[in-house]
């Protein structure tokens, strides 16, 4: 029991069960530096004049630990047995769960991009199927207007199908009816 209390205190958790109020930027920075995945990078050493330092004609190189960037290659979910590749060093460091989550997110984003491109002809058909012509109601001025024009319910209408009903007017009429100010909503 005393050992677990010591571990909780070192992690910044109070004995009451909440997070210690003294969590600071320094503790957070230290935690990120100690637990963020890193890679070893080799770099050349230069003198004050900008010349590469050499020993016996061979450039001096040093190693340092650098954090992985946001756009680093993590890997892809394999589609078939031939597509199976070695696990990337970053995936090994972050662990199985986060690596699978990030790979799944990447695969789904590519999949939905493919579906969007595949549906461009359908959206063009829906947009042209309104029969609205050059009137002022055919101008798309907001994302909801674009959704109205590109939806299946808009095909064959002389105007935007969702533009036929004014929900603000209906709401005002219902409110007046329920307050007793109008006879019929």
Task: Summarize pLDDT for 121-172 with one digit per residue, the tens.
Answer: 888 877 776 555 555 555 667 777 777 777 776 666 555 555 556 667 777 7
Q: How confident is the model at residue 1 (pLDDT cuts 50, 70, 90)?
A: very low
**pLDDT for the residue numbered 3:** 47
Given a cut of 90, is residue 40 above it in pLDDT?
no
Residue 64 has pLDDT above 90, yes or no: no
- Extract the tokens encoding 100: 């699978």
pLDDT confidence tier of residue 31, bands split at 50, 70 and 90: confident
Q: Which residue has the higher pLDDT, 101 or 25?
A: 101
Residue 7 banded pLDDT, cuts 50, 70, 90 = very low
Long-range contacts of 40-45 (CB under 8 A, 24+ apart): 40/64, 40/65, 40/66, 41/65, 41/66
Q: Which pLDDT score is estimated for 50? A: 82
35 has a pLDDT exceeding 70: yes
Indicate the pLDDT class of residue 115, thresholds 50, 70 and 90. very high
The CA-atom distances, in angstroms, between 65 and each of 25, 42, 130 are 22, 9, 59
The sign one gets for the Cα dihedral 91, 96, 98, 104 is positive
25 has pLDDT over 80:
yes
30 pLDDT more than 50: yes
> What's the confidence (pLDDT) of residue 109?
93
Interatomic CA distance for residues 147 and 140, integer angstroms: 9
Is the pLDDT assigned to residue 72 strictly greater than 70?
yes
Mean residue pLDDT of the chain comes to: 74
The predicted structure's pLDDT at residue 41: 82
């Amino acid at each position: 029991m005393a050992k677990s209390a010591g571990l909780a205190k070192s992690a910044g958790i109070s004995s009451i069960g909440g997070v210690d109020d003294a969590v600071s930027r320094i503790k957070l920075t230290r935690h990120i530096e100690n637990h963020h995945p890193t890679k070893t990078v080799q770099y050349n050493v230069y003198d004050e004049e900008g010349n590469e330092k050499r020993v016996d004609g061979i450039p001096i190189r040093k190693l340092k630990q650098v954090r992985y960037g946001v756009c680093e290659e993590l890997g892809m979910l394999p589609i078939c047995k031939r597509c199976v590749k070695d696990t990337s060093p970053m995936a090994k460091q972050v662990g199985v769960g986060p690596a699978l989550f990030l790979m799944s997110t990447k695969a789904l984003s590519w999949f939905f991009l493919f579906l969007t491109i595949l549906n461009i002809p359908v959206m063009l058909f829906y947009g042209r199927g309104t029969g609205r012509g050059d009137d002022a109601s055919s101008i798309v001025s907001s994302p909801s207007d674009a959704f109205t024009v590109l939806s299946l319910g808009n095909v064959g209408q002389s105007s935007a199908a969702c533009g036929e009903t004014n929900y603000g007017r209906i709401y005002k009429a219902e409110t007046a009816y329920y307050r007793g100010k109008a006879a019929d909503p």
